[in-house]
Amino acid sequence: MNSTISISYIQSDLIWENPKENRSLFGVQIMNSSFSSDIIILPELFTTGFTMHPQQFAETMDGKTINWMKIIAKSKDIAIVGSLIIVENDKYYNRLIFVEPNGNIATYDKRHLFTYGGEDKVYTSGKKRLIIEYKGWKFCPMICYDLRFPVWSRNCDNYDVLLYIANWPKPRTTAWNTLLKARSIENMCYTIGVNRIGVDGNKLLYSGNSQAINMLGEQLIFSNDKKGIFTGLLDKQQLLKARNKFQFLNDKDSFVLHK
């Protein structure tokens, strides 16, 4: 078990509905930067922005973006995480992809589709949670709107890190900041939220506020509306010390989730 793990994320504007240019945008930042981390995290739908035109931009699991992620992971010896539009059996998914340097891939399909924005009309909801074990750490990845539903993220798997990637608009920033902190405190875990900045093709403004929070709700990284790569260190011993001291998770309610 690694006592510490280094996490980096990129807070960036996205080029609307342009996978090629977005791959180039992130590729240049990652390959030309001197940061040293175990994991690099990109925002939700990092190749297109939050588009409701999946039929125009969907890729397969052996498409250009997945291959690009494999190249990045191998060349930088780093795991890379982000979501993009994937088509399978004529259905479209907002799918989080976690690629390890050795080429191993784990995936999570967004469970809670954003009905207010019509996401449920064009995408298919995921059915399963994912727990990723990497370098002795357990990650539970989620996507954007999932943040509003605490039952789905409840720490029943003894995970260490909750990870949310998002396109979360500025008008709802208070909810973003509040709920990220709440998820950390109630699940006694590190929580990382990676959001975009800029204006999308629907004229929605995104103010970023990407951050990493510890198990007590204290911010370790906060990016405000700045563009760039941000890095922090998570410490497993500090996490275990807090859990052993307070033992809040021992008193949690047990439940079975039904659809």
Q: pLDDT (tens digit, 9 = 90+) per residue, 108-117? A: 999 999 999 9
Q: Is the pLDDT of residue 255 over 90?
A: no
Average pLDDT over residues 230-235: 98
How does pLDDT run across 90-101, given as a tens digit for each residue?
A: 999 999 999 999
Residue 211 pLDDT class (50, 70, 90 cuts): very high
Place of tokens 């992971």: 73
Name the residue type at position 141. Answer: P
Strand order in the sheet with 211-213: 132-134, 137-143, 161-165, 190-194, 211-213, 219-222
Q: Is the pLDDT of residue 259 over 90?
A: no
Q: Is the pLDDT of residue 1 over 60?
A: no
In the numeric block, which tokens belong to residue 240?
A: 């275990």
pLDDT at 40: 98
Annotated catalytic residue within 70, 100, 110, 140: 110
Q: Are 96 and 129 in contact (CB under 8 A)?
A: no
Annotated catalytic residue within 70, 144, 181, 189: 144
Return the CATH fold of 4-246: Nitrilase/N-carbamoyl-D-aminoacid amidohydrolase (3.60.110)
How does pLDDT run across 20-38, given as a tens digit for each residue?
A: 999 999 999 999 998 899 9
Average pLDDT over residues 137-151: 98
- CA dist 230 and 232 (Å) reads 7
Q: Is the pLDDT of residue 59 over 80?
A: yes
Residue 144 known to be catalytic: yes
pLDDT at 256: 83
- pTM (two decimals): 0.97
Average per-residue pLDDT in the chain?
A: 97
Of the chain, the percentage scoring pLDDT greater than 90 comes to 95
Neighbours of 199 (CB within 10 A): 15
Residue 110 known to be catalytic: yes
- Those residues whose C-beta lies under 8 Å from the C-beta of residue 229, and which sit 6 or more positions away, are 8, 9, 10, 29, 30, 33, 35, 40
Domain boundaries along the sequence of the chain: 4-246
